[in-house]
Amino acid sequence: MMTGRWLFLTVLCWLLTGMSTSAWAATNHSALLAAFCATDGNKATALEQFVEAGVSDETQDQAWARLIVDAIRNSALVCNSSGLVTIQGTPPLDAATLKTAANSNPGDSPYVPSIVMMRKLMVASAEIDLFSGQRDTRADAARQVDKSFALLDPAIITKAIKRERDPDIASVLTLAMAKRGLGSNNRADRLAAIKAVAEVPSETARTALANFVAQDSVRSDPEVLAAVQSAIAKIDTSLSFGRAFSILFSGLSYAGVLLLTALGLSIVFGLMGVINLAHGEFIMIGAYSTYLVERFMQAHMPGLFDAYIFVAIPVAFVISAVCGMLLEFFVIRFLYRRPLETLLATWAVSIALIKLVQVLFGSQNVEFVTPGFLNGGMQVSPGFFVTYNRVFAIVLALLIFLATFAVVRLTKLGLLMRATTQLRDMARCLGVAAERVDRLAFGLGAGLAGLAGVVLTQIASVNPSMGTGFVVDSFMVVVLGGAGSLLGTVVSSLALGEINQFIEPFYGAVAAKVAVLLLIVLIIQKRPQGLFALKTRV
Amino acid sequence: MTTLPETAARRNWTLSAFLSKWMEIGIVPVLILVAAYLPFAYFAIPEASALHMSLFGINLIGQIMCFALLALALDLVWGYAGILSLGHGIFFGIGGYLMAIYLLNSAYAETNVLPDFIQYMGTGGFPTVWKIFSRLDVTVLITIVFTALVAGVFGFVTFRSRINGVYLSIITQALTYALMLLLFINDVGLGGNNGMTGFTNIAGLRIAGVSTQIGLAVCSCVVLVVAYVGVRYLAHSSLGRALIAVRDDEARMRFLGYRTHTLKLIAWCLSAVIAALAGMLYVPQVGIVNPTIVSPQLSVEIAVWVAIGGRGTLIGAIAGAILVNGLKFWLSSQLPEVWPFILAGVTLVIVVAFGNGVWGTLKAAGEEANR
Amino acid sequence: MKRRTFLSAVGSGLVTAAGTALPKPALAAGSTEPIKLGLLFSQSGTMANNESLLKDTALMTIDQVNAKGGVLGRQVQGVVVDPASDWPMYAQLSKQLIQRDKCAALFGCWTSVSRKSVLPVVEANDSLLFYPLHFEGEEQSKNVVYLNSPPSSSVLPAIDYLMGDQGGNAKRFYMIGSDYVWPRTINKMLKGYFKTKNIPDSALRERYVPFGQSNFQTIVREIKDFAAQPGGQAIVVMTVVGDSIPAMFKEAVNQGIRATDIPILGLDVVDSDLEGLDTKPLVGHLSCWCYFQNVDTPQNTQFKSDWKNYVTAHGLKHRPDMVIDPMVSTNLGINLWAQAVTKAKSTGTDAVRKALAGQSMVDPAGYTVKMDPSSQYLWRGDMIGSINAKQGFDILWKSKDIVKPVPYSPFIGKA
Amino acid sequence: MTASASNTAIYVSGLNVRFAGFAAITNLSMELRYGEIRAIIGPNGAGKTTLMDVITGKTRPASGEVFLDRVTNLATLDETSIARLGIGRKFQKPSVFEALLVRENLELAIRNGHGYADMLRSRLKTEYDQRIDEVLETIGLSSEGRRLAGTLSHGQKQWLEIGMLLVADPHVILLDEPVAGMTDHETARTVELIARLKSPARAVVVIEHDMDFVGEIADLVSVLHEGQLLGEGSMEKVRSDPRVIQVYLGR
């Protein structure tokens, strides 16, 4: 019985639309445009007309409607005072004929869609897409329509379902239609709708149901009420899981950043005992090297542009490593006996570097075009959305750490490094070329900082003074982890990252940071040598 | 300081020798002269003459004196006790903020307008605690006590657990950073990023008044002199020598039966109080206090002034602060682009080439001449 | 006169530097030496890229004034200093400009904090500061000329729009700002305003991040949460500034927020903030100013080409094709000052202040702005811009006429 | 003297010290008596210096007792308190305060950490001054009193350090390789100095490698090996002890 009625309705709609469209081909486009531009006219209804054209069987109508709707979306459609309607561009087109417009008067500015209009436009173009030849286009359109089911035009969707060959797309559309049942007064429709909406739990689904349950008619109907409430409960549980995961995740990504920025320092400070206040500036140098690479590739090999981030990795490493070695050669090596002096010297270097970069690049943020594959993110589970740039940061941090660990623990350089840096004189006696090892070690530290810079270009703002923010954190991580213990660095950055992100939602970013700093200071009071330090003689 | 009168007989007088011996006392009358000159230079000397000083210049000198005071404080702990604190901005800040609270109180008493940050915080009035700071003398007293207390607690815990050298520097820096972040939060109730401003009067005098401004500058000089004399006395007492000993070999001092952390604590608290006083003098002269005065940057810079002047020589610290800040004010208006490079360059040369700074080197040369 | 100053100063200690410093330019009127204007804009530090724009606009405008023969037959000369984005330095240098360089008036400051540190100086020396930014209002000094709108005349119309049908009937508001006076005051005002619209507190949320915050993971997640609560369409009123703006936008885009789901009204967003951002996913987010560079008026075309020529001619780092509201405000300020001086036939503060009242001119946005005689705020138009795919703003809505500036918003409960 | 020789100054029993795994001292028990000069010898890593570290509170033992006068358990006190009980120590490498004058070094030693307020009064009590003069006489640096300690020769520094022990007049004196790197002439002088330290109310302990030197000064010799007491007795006795010869003198 139910289905019977649906059938009847759909047939009716189809007939209507069918007639109108056939009537359509005859009437010319400019009338529509006029209707749209009419100051008193209702733009929404005008838009519906465009859509009708778009979904008609006349391909040139379709194409035209598609073009117009896009033009409106990109606020390129100009209603000239002369009555002429043009599409901005070079040359401007006459919207009706799509021929080059005679003259579009500059005084007239294009129509800028309001937010409400944008929503309508979004659905409209999706609806048009539902009739396109490409399966993928239709699939996307279907998803879009489903997302904003409240706004869709049932007649058109039914038509789409009828002619849809692909079962998946069809089912998506049917689901969307079902969701509209929330609006109906029929209990069965409502129950079906609730089921449909709750099928894929998400914030939007929750909103829909929550708004739905707010209606009196719903409250008065115990059965529906029960259904919707259990649905909401179900959604809430999965959402809260998602929320927990997201906190863990952001903790992880924060830890990744900490690890990256601290790694270089755990060598320079941890192993060599140099208080390098210019550490942050090496990070900055790394970031700016990335910037140069980006600019270069944009100019010379736009095809491979997205790969710039990977190209930047070796480049940034080398550049900052070289800077590091220069610093070591000209300043640090005279100060190994006087750690506190290295503090002052490196501070001086840092302000000079900052100013230098300011002079070269200006003090504003340099903006990066994010590689396509780092844009956006994905819904892992309801309420748990990971963004690709963070995943990238975490993964890279991990890889870089493993590499460093390998270098320090497994290679000869690593051995020499530990030897010289820990027992300077002894190593000298043993004829280790201490100077060279020191230089390499410092270079390695600086290079790692540079790598941190590369990653940060994707998740933090890049400007000459960006480094200063990271120095304190990095030192804290290293000190907490225990000087000279790479594992300690990892553990402490993990701990700090998670703690920080756990506090932040409740008390805000600053409070979290402060709390963590104080916590560290307290721990240091108890364990001056950090968490991972052996008890040794003297 | 280590050469004594009887050897002075067989000095061969070189400039460095003269300076290193006599300027340490000589600076006192010099500073007093400056203090006396300021009002004279403004009121009595006609504007045309080169000797005339604009209020602007005088105000500048006042501020520089505060920085010198700050450097003196740091030199006491770094140069003598060997504690390189990167957290003296904290004490400077405490002094500054408490002073600001007093100034706001008195401004409110006069104008009856609440500062905007109080208004938009919606508390509808000053926190009750602030009432204590309604009198200058009381404020000064409380500030001294409070600072000593804060420094004492931190120092006690830290020196007890034998955190020193690099670690202590890093921790103090972290704390400075933390405090700055805290002050940036408006909910803390100290004006957040804007900090506090809009002071109208201090101890009944209009704060923008010429004579008030000059008075503050003079006051800064005087406090500097007093602090210098006091610290120098301490440094030359055998307590000062004990501090030097702790600096050079703390363990050894323990084996001699010294409670080294107590020694350090004394120097630490005294230094903190001096820093706080500097803050109290600084704020009414710039007319605003905001979190940047506890930025890690400033705290490191203090160490740089001391290093440039030569640590462990008190006068060197003062000279360094005056030199650097004088240059800074002058250059950053003339050629702002170049200033950081100059500062960096000078610091590097001093640190790498002349470990013990301008004054230290001069002194060394002086003693060379006497040997 | 020196001597008198001396005695009175000693006597009362209540003589301001004005006694010695300020009369100079007033007396010097009619002489041929140039009239000095202090330009108090940072060229280094965090504010540099914004404020140096204004510095150069000011210099350009001064050139234009001089090209027209200067004022009172004297050339105008801009005295440039660099406060290096360090708030106390603003106070310091403003003193220097007034007392040492004897500037007739100051143009400068971007952030409220810098203005507030200069305020006591200009008041003590009875000079004039022309302030080109929109700000939190709640202030009115006879020594400051406010060239941009206070929130009640610029922000509220935008809010009204969003609460209307065209704006999508916003019912719930997530207010995220940088933690300082401007956002705090704006949001306090908004809360007061929402009360009058019977919007319950449950439909409001207020969050603050420190300056230069670049990690908005948590915030954006919370926004999505907030939007998912029942009670109607949610929007974000964003008062974060500087570095935080692109960071916030990026995170929002990455986490899949679109204007069609949750519109963001960025009160401090100007074209320069969109530089280098891929604005396609940002299309439809909003901002409101007294001027957007896409406005189509001959004056604007003129101003934009002037700027382009100036930038290229002097080989400046700025983008030649980008003009933002504060630049226009600066330009207006200097022109109005010039008009006032000409009318007053003097550069003395009092005279200029009197002459300034009621001065008016046509601004690039096409409105005839005029100086409010009582409040010394400038009457200006109001516009809502919608971010387009071309890293700029399309004008979504314009006020019919200039709007009365209301320094003290009725919606902020006075303490 | 024989009377006092019997009474124990330092009593060590069942002492164990470990560093990150390896055992520096295992189950060591020995007595140091007043009135005697005791030499402790043994190859490197035998635990000689570690023993001093334990007595002076620098190192905490894993287990075992270290008593002063059979009443105070030193294992529970920190360096400062132990020093104040009258246990003085001279380190292996001369550690005088080079930035201070010779006199000032002695002054610090004589004040022995008492009365910080009193230290602000620059003038020193006259009896202290006299004491310092005497000691300067004894260590033969009277003419060097106003020199920077840093400018002294290696030997002079060693003597100054011994002087710092003398002025403080402790009950127990621990000397770690006092003649290391000295010329024969200097060594001879040091021998005299150490001989002077000997008094009925004082126990003197010397760690040394130089056998002849030990022979000259020591009343009693204890041999440590791998953290254990190998033998004890007069130099002759020890010299003739086969195990000692095997592990130590043999090489």
Over D91-132, what HEC string results?
Answer: CCCCCCCCCCEHHHHHHHHHHCCCCHHHHHCCCCCHHHHHHH
The reported pLDDT for the residue numbered D5 is: 43
Q: Domain total for chain D?
A: 1
The reported pLDDT for the residue numbered A431 is: 64
Contacts of C181 in chain B (CB under 8 A): 116-117, 120, 186, 192-194
A210 pLDDT exceeds 50? yes
The reported pLDDT for the residue numbered D4 is: 43
Angle between helices A434-459 and A279-300 (to 10 degrees): 60
- Report yes or no: B290 at the C interface, CB cutoff 8 Å: yes
Cα angle value A182/A184/A188 (rounded, 5°): 80
C151 pLDDT exceeds 60? yes
The reported pLDDT for the residue numbered C18 is: 35
A453 pLDDT exceeds 60? yes
**Tens of pLDDT along A317-364?**
999 999 999 999 999 988 887 888 899 999 999 999 999 998 898 777
Report the candidate in A111, A85, A72, A40 with the shortest Cα–Cα distance to residue C395: A111
* Residue C31 C-beta-side C-alpha neighbours within 13 Å: 11
How distant is the Cα of B254 from the closest Cα of chain D, in angstroms? 5
In the predicted model, what is the mean pLDDT of chain D? Answer: 85
The more confident residue out of B274 and D156 is B274
Query: By mean pLDDT, which of B20-29, B168-177, B178-187, D185-194 is the weakest?
Result: B20-29
The full length of chain D comes to 251
CB B193, CB C179: distance < 8 Å:
yes
Mutation target to probe the C interface, by most C beta carbons within 10 A, among B38, B120, B301 is B120
Measured distance CA(A101)–CA(A482) in Å, rounded? 73
The reported pLDDT for the residue numbered C25 is: 44
- Domains defined for chain C, CATH in brackets: 2-148+296-379 (3.40.50.2300), 151-294+384-398 (3.40.50.2300)
The reported pLDDT for the residue numbered B317 is: 94
Measured distance CA(B142)–CA(B7) in Å, rounded? 46
Mutation target to probe the C interface, by most C beta carbons within 10 A, among B118, B180, B182, B211 is B211
User: Taking every pair of C-alpha atoms in chain C, what is the biggest distance, in angstroms?
Assistant: 74
Q: What is the DSSP letter of D150?
A: G
Report phi then psi at C396, rounded to 5.
-90, -35
Task: Give the one of A250, A369, A390 whose C-beta lies nearest to C218's C-beta.
Answer: A250
Helix boundaries (H) for C125-275 = 151-163, 181-196, 217-228, 244-254, 271-274
Contacts of B336 in chain C (CB under 8 A): 43-44, 82, 84
Mutation target to probe the B interface, by most B beta carbons within 10 A, among C180, C185, C209 is C180
Q: Position of tokens 């589970």?
A: A381
| Residues 6 or more apart whose Cβ sits within 8 Å of residue D115 | none
- Report yes or no: B237 at the D interface, CB cutoff 8 Å: yes
How distant is the Cα of C24 from the closest Cα of chain B, in angstroms? 12
- Report yes or no: C138 at the B interface, CB cutoff 8 Å: yes
The more confident residue out of D133 and A97 is D133
Q: Which residue type, as a one-letter code, is found at position C320?
A: P
The helix or strand, by DSSP H or E, that contains position C287, with its residue range, turns out to be strand C286-289
Contacts of B258 in chain D (CB under 8 A): 80, 108, 112-113
The reported pLDDT for the residue numbered A215 is: 83
Q: Which residue type, as a one-letter code, is found at position A68?
A: I
Token pair of C47 as six digits: 């504010």
Helix boundaries (H) for B80-208 = 88-111, 116-121, 136-160, 166-184
Contacts of B249 in chain D (CB under 8 A): 95, 97
| Residues 6 or more apart whose Cβ sits within 8 Å of residue A182 | A190, A193, A194, A197, A208, A212
The more confident residue out of B327 and C29 is B327
CB C307, CB C63: distance < 8 Å:
no
Global pTM?
Answer: 0.85
Cα→Cα distances B240→B26, B80, B268, D83, Å = 21, 7, 13, 21
Helix boundaries (H) for C289-415 = 298-313, 325-344, 349-356
Query: Whole domain around residue D27: which residue ranges?
Result: 2-249
Q: Does C contact B via 3+ CB–CB distances below 8 Å?
A: yes
Report the candidate in C322, C31, C46, C374 with the shortest Cα–Cα distance to residue C180: C46
**Tens of pLDDT along B287-321?**
889 898 999 999 999 999 999 999 888 999 999 99
Helix, strand or coil, per DSSP, at residue C275: coil
Token pair of C159 as six digits: 């809010």
Chains that touch A (3 or more CB pairs under 8 A): B, C, D
Cis status of the peptide bond prior to C88, with omega within 30 of 0? no
CB C299, CB C362: distance < 8 Å:
yes
Measured distance CA(A449)–CA(A346) in Å, rounded? 15
Task: Kindly report the CATH number assigned to the domain that includes residue D142.
Answer: 3.40.50.300
Helix, strand or coil, per DSSP, at residue C134: coil
* Contact between chains at C263 and A109 (C-beta distance less than 8 A): no
Report phi then psi at C131, rounded to 5.
-110, 115
Token pair of A527 as six digits: 């364990």
- Report yes or no: B343 at the A interface, CB cutoff 8 Å: yes
What radius of gyration do chain C's Cα atoms show? 22
The reported pLDDT for the residue numbered C8 is: 35
The reported pLDDT for the residue numbered B106 is: 93
Measured distance CA(C304)–CA(C308) in Å, rounded? 6
C303 pLDDT exceeds 60? yes
| Residues 6 or more apart whose Cβ sits within 8 Å of residue D55 | D10, D12, D66, D74, D82, D87, D172, D174
Measured distance CA(A117)–CA(C260) in Å, rounded? 9
Task: Give the one of B4, B256, B266 whose C-beta lies nearest to D116's C-beta.
Answer: B266
The reported pLDDT for the residue numbered A496 is: 93
C48 pLDDT exceeds 50? yes
Pick the residue from chain B with its C-alpha nearest to C17: B210
D172 pLDDT exceeds 60? yes
Interval B247-262 mean pLDDT: 91
DSSP D211-232: HHHHHHH-SEEEEEETTEEEEE
* Contact between chains at B198 and C119 (C-beta distance less than 8 A): yes
In the predicted model, what is the mean pLDDT of chain C? Answer: 88
User: Taking every pair of C-alpha atoms in chain D, what is the biggest distance, in angstroms?
Assistant: 59
Report the candidate in A518, A471, A203, A442 with the shortest Cα–Cα distance to residue A350: A471
A422 pLDDT exceeds 80? no
Contacts of A532 in chain D (CB under 8 A): none
A20 pLDDT exceeds 60? no
CB D225, CB D46: distance < 8 Å:
yes
Measured distance CA(B156)–CA(B154) in Å, rounded? 6
The reported pLDDT for the residue numbered B369 is: 63
* Residue B324 C-beta-side C-alpha neighbours within 13 Å: 30
Measured distance CA(A469)–CA(C138) in Å, rounded? 33
* Interface subset of A 496-535, CB within 8 angstroms of D: 534-535
Helix, strand or coil, per DSSP, at residue A508: helix
Residues of chain C with pLDDT > 70: what percent?
92
**Tens of pLDDT along A252-282?**
999 999 999 999 998 888 878 888 999 999 9
* Interface subset of A 96-135, CB within 8 angstroms of C: 106-107, 109-110, 112-116, 118-119, 122
The helix or strand, by DSSP H or E, that contains position C168, with its residue range, turns out to be none
The reported pLDDT for the residue numbered A533 is: 63
**Tens of pLDDT along A215-255?**
888 888 888 899 999 999 999 999 999 989 999 999 999 99
Query: By mean pLDDT, which of C211-215, D3-7, D14-18, D57-61 is the weakest?
Result: D3-7
Interval B270-283 mean pLDDT: 97
